C-alpha cells in the first residue's frame, strides 16, 4: 500500500512542479527581481534568503502557523521534513532528525533568539517544546550537522526560534495579548510588549499555561520484570494499567534589552509536568511531577570598526531536574540497595516507595568572535567559546530501603542518585572563511576544535558550496563532521536500577555528506530536493538488560527529502514534504547488524490554507508517519504507521486588529504511540487523542 502512496506522492510533486513552471514562466523575472531587492534590504536580519544559505534549511512563520491552528513549538516542528518525535518514560520528548539515535537526547540544539537552551542534565529541550506559537515570529530549522562553526556543535540539526523581539524598520513587531483554551482543561494567557527610544529597546514576553492531560497506558514495566530478581523476587503481579499523568503547568518571562552596542537576553521558564510513565517504569500517581526549570541571562557587545566586526558575549544559565513521585506500588518487595550485594534479604514496601530527586546545574560561558571583511572575496571569522558546567545542588531522598517505611529518608550523602561533584570544562576554537569565487559560486569552509575535561572531540571540519546557476536554480553540496558530548545523565547517574552513568563515554560522532537542488518560482514558491549520507560512530545506548550507558552502536544512514511550497490559486497557500530514511545499525558488542530501529522510513506532511476573503481562511494539516522496526531482541510487532488530520478556521478583524482561531487536532482520533524500549511498557507510550483549541489574539 505504501508503494502506491509513494508513487502518488512523487507524481504529485512532478505535476505541481511542471504546472507551476508553465503557469509562472512569464512572471519569474519580475518576481525574482523584486525578491532580490527585498533580500538585499532585510536578508541579514530576517534570514529570508534561506535558500541561498550553505546548509539545508526550512523556515516556518508564526503568522502562517497561527492560521493553521498550530499551538506550540512541538506541533510546528512536526511539519519539518525528516523530523519525527520520540519520548521516554518521563515524557522527555525529543525531535529526531533523519533517524539519528532516537534513544538519546541532545541530537539537536535549540536556540531562543540565538541563546542555546539545551539543559545540561539530559542535553534536551523538552521543556521548551510547549512554547506557544503566538510568541514566535519565525522558526529556522537546519537539518544536518553542518550549520555551526561558532562554538556550538549541532550533531543532527539545529532549531532557531526567533521571538517578536526581532523588530526593525519596515518589519516592526506589534504588541499583543492572547488567550487560549482547549481540551483537557487547557488554558493559556500571555502578552508581548516593546518599548523603544532612539538608543534603547526593551522587549518583554510573558505567558502562563496549564492542562490536565493524561493518556491510557499500561501494563507498566513491572509486568516485564522491572524491579524483579529471577529466583528471589517477583513483583510482576503488582503491574498496573491506567492513565499516565501528562499534565502541564508552566509560565515564562522573557526580557531582551538593546542599548547602542550592548544587549541583554534573559528568560525564566518554570516548567512542571506529570510524571508520565514513572521514572522507575511503574505507573505513577496523578499528582506526581517532574520540574524542569530553565533560567538564563546573557550580556553582549557587538561593534563594527572599519572592516572588523566584534561580537563578545558572556552568559549564565541554571537548569534543574527535579522529580517528586511515587516510585513503586504498594506491597513491592526488593532488596536493601544500600547494603547490596553483601545482603540480599527482601524488604517489603507496604505503602509503596517514594522518591525526591533533584540535580541543579550551573553553566557559565564566555565567547568572543572577530569577523574581518577587508580581503577581496573573503570574509574571515575566528573566535572561541569557553564553557564551565557544574552541579551546584543535589538531593536524593527515598523511602527507607532498610525498613520499607514510606517517609522520605535523606540519602544525599550515603546513597546519591547523581554525582553531586559533577563538573566539566569545554573550550572550542573556531575558524571560518566565506569565499565568493564569483557572482554564481561561493564556498564556506572552516572548523571547530574542542577540548574538554574528559574525552576531547578534537578537529571537526566543514566545507560547503553554493552554486547559483541563476536566481531561480540553486545547487548545494556540504561536507561536515560533528559530535555530541554525553549528557550528564549518561555520565554521572549512580545507584539507579535502570540507568548507570559512565565518565568514560566518548562523544557520539557523525560525518555527513549532503547535496541539494532548489528551484525557486518566486520568493515563497519553491521546490527543494536533497539527499544525505551520514556515518554515525560511538552512539550511546543503554537497556533494561544492561543499564550502563555505553558507546555501543555505529549507524550508517542515508535518505532523501522533498519539499514544495507554493499555491494552486491566488487565494491559497500549499505546502508538502516527503522524507525517506534508511540505513544499518551495527551493534559492536554483538557484531551484528540490523535495519534502523524505532525509525519511520517514510514521512509525508503537508498543509493547505484557503483564504475565503481578507478576513476568513480555512486550513488543514495532514501527517503520515510510517511503521517502525523494533530494536534487536525486541520480539514485539512493528510500531504501526499512522496518519493524523487537523483542521482550522481562522478569522481576523483588520479594523480592530484581533483574530480568532478554532482548530480540531487528530480529527479521526488516530491511535498515536511512540516506541518504548523492550521490557518496559509493552504497549508503547500513548500520545494525545482528538482535541480542540480556541485562540484569541489582539494586537496593538
604-635 confidence digits (pLDDT tens): 999 999 999 999 999 999 999 999 999 888 99
d(CA 218, CA 241) in angstroms, rounded, equals 4
Higher pLDDT, 195 or 340: 195
Residue 604 and residue 562 in contact, taking contact as beta carbons nearer than 8 Å: no
Is 2-699 in CATH node 2.40.170.20? yes
β-partners of residue 96 are 84
pLDDT at 505 over 80: yes
Q: What band does 344 get if pLDDT is binned at 50, 70 and 90?
A: confident
CA–CA gap between residue 552 and residue 541 (Å, rounded): 6
Average the pLDDT over 193-213 and give the result.
95
- Pairwise CA distance, residues 219 & 278, whole Å: 12
User: What pTM was estimated for this model as a whole?
Assistant: 0.92
254-301 pLDDT tens trace: 999 999 999 999 999 999 999 999 999 999 999 999 999 999 999 999
Q: Which of 515, 511, 539 is closest to 529 using CA atoms?
A: 515
User: How far lies 240's CA from each of 192, 213, 243, 496, in Å?
Assistant: 44, 19, 10, 21
- Indicate the pLDDT class of residue 103, thresholds 50, 70 and 90: confident
pLDDT category at 170 given cuts 50, 70, 90 is low
**Which of left, alpha, beta for 185 (phi over 0: left; psi -120 to 50: alpha)?**
left
Contacts with 80 (C-beta within 8 Å, 6 or more apart), sequence order? 58, 60, 95, 141, 143, 577
- Asked if the model's pLDDT at residue 35 lies above 60, the reply is no
Amino acid at each position: 500500500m505504501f508503494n502506491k502512496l509513494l508513487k502518488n506522492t512523487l507524481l504529485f510533486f512532478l505535476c505541481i512542479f511542471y504546472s507551476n513552471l508553465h503557469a509562472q514562466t512569464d512572471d519569474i523575472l519580475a518576481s525574482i527581481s523584486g525578491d532580490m531587492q527585498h533580500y538585499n534590504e532585510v536578508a541579514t536580519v530576517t534570514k529570508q534568503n534561506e535558500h541561498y544559505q550553505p546548509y539545508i534549511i526550512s523556515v516556518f512563520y508564526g503568522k502562517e502557523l497561527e492560521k493553521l491552528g498550530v499551538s506550540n513549538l512541538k506541533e510546528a516542528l512536526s511539519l519539518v521534513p525528516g523530523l519525527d518525535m520520540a519520548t521516554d518514560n518521563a515524557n522527555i520528548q525529543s525531535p529526531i532528525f533523519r533517524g539519528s539515535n532516537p534513544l538519546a537526547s541532545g541530537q539537536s540544539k535549540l536556540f531562543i533568539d540565538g541563546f542555546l537552551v539545551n539543559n545540561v542534565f539530559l542535553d534536551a529541550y523538552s521543556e521548551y517544546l510547549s512554547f506557544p506559537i503566538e510568541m514566535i515570529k519565525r522558526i529556522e530549522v537546519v537539518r544536518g550537522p553542518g550549520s555551526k562553526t561558532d562554538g556550538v556543535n549541532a550533531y543532527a540539526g539545529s532549531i532557531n526560534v526567533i521571538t517578536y523581539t526581532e523588530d526593525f524598520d519596515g518589519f516592526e513587531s506589534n504588541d499583543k495579548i492572547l488567550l487560549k483554551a482547549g481540551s483537557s482543561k487547557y488554558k493559556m494567557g500571555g502578552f508581548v510588549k516593546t518599548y523603544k527610544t532612539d538608543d534603547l529597546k526593551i522587549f518583554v514576553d510573558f505567558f502562563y499555561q496549564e492542562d490536565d492531560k493524561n493518556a491510557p497506558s499500561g501494563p507498566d514495566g513491572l509486568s516485564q520484570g522491572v524491579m524483579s530478581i529471577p529466583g528471589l523476587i517477583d513483583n510482576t503481579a503488582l503491574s498496573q494499567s491506567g492513565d499516565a499523568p501528562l499534565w502541564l503547568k508552566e509560565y515564562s518571562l522573557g526580557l531582551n534589552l538593546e542599548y547602542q552596542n550592548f544587549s541583554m537576553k534573559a528568560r525564566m521558564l518554570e516548567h512542571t509536568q506529570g510524571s508520565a510513565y514513572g521514572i522507575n517504569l511503574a505507573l505513577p500517581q496523578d499528582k506526581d511531577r517532574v520540574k524542569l526549570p530553565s533560567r538564563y541571562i546573557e550580556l553582549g557587545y557587538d561593534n563594527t570598526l572599519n572592516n572588523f566586526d566584534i561580537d563578545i558575549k558572556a552568559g549564565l544559565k541554571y537548569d534543574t531536574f527535579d522529580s517528586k513521585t511515587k516510585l513503586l506500588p504498594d506491597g513491592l518487595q526488593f532488596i536493601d540497595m544500600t547494603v547490596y550485594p553483601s545482603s540480599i534479604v527482601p524488604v517489603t514496601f507496604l505503602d509503596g516507595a517514594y522518591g525526591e530527586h533533584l540535580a541543579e546545574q550551573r553553566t557559565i560561558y564566555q565567547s568572543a568572535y572577530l569577523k574581518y571583511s577587508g580581503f577581496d572575496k573573503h570574509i574571515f571569522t575566528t573566535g572561541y567559546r569557553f564553557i564551565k558546567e557544574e552541579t551546584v545542588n543535589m538531593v536524593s531522598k527515598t523511602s527507607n530501603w532498610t525498613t520499607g517505611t514510606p517517609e522520605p529518608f535523606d540519602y544525599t550523602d550515603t546513597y546519591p542518585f547523581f554525582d553531586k561533584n559533577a563538573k566539566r570544562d569545554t573550550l572550542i576554537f573556531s575558524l571560518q572563511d566565506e569565499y565568493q569565487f564569483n557572482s554564481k559560486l561561493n564556498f564556506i569552509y572552516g572548523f571547530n576544535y574542542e577540548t574538554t575535561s574528559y574525552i576531547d572531540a578534537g578537529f571537526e571540519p566543514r566545507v560547503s558550496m553554493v552554486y547559483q546557476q541563476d536566481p531561480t536554480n540553486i545547487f548545494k553540496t556540504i561536507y561536515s563532521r560533528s559530535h555530541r558530548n554525553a549528557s550528564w545523565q549518561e555520565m554521572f547517574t549512580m545507584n539507579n536500577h535502570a540507568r548507570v552513568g559512565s565518565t568514560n563515554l566518548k562523544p557520539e560522532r557523525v560525518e555527513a555528506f549532503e547535496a541539494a537542488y532548489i528551484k525557486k518560482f518566486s520568493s515563497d514558491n519553491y521546490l527543494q530536493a536533497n539527499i544525505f549520507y551520514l556515518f554515525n560512530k560511538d552512539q550511546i545506548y543503554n537497556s533494561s538488560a544492561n543499564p550502563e550507558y555505553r558507546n555501543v552502536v555505529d549507524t550508517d544512514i542515508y535518505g532523501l527529502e522533498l519539499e514544495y511550497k507554493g499555491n494552486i490559486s491566488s487565494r491559497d497557500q500549499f505546502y508538502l514534504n516527503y522524507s525517506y530514511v534508511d540505513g544499518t545499525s551495527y551493534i559492536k558488542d554483538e557484531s551484528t547488524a540490523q535495519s534502523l530501529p524505532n525509525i519511520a522510513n517514510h514521512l509525508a506532511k503537508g498543509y493547505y490554507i484557503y483564504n475565503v476573503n481578507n478576513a476568513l481562511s480555512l486550513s488543514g494539516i495532514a501527517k503520515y508517519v510510517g511503521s517502525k522496526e523494533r530494536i534487536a531482541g525486541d520480539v514485539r510487532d512493528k510500531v504501526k504507521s499512522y496518519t493524523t488530520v487537523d483542521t482550522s478556521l481562522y478569522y481576523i478583524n483588520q479594523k480592530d486588529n484581533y483574530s480568532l482561531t478554532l482548530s480540531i487536532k487528530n480529527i479521526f482520533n488516530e491511535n498515536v504511540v511512540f516506541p518504548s524500549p523492550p521490557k518496559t511498557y509493552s504497549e508503547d507510550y500513548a500520545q494525545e487523542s482528538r482535541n480542540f483549541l480556541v485562540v484569541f489574539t489582539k494586537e496593538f
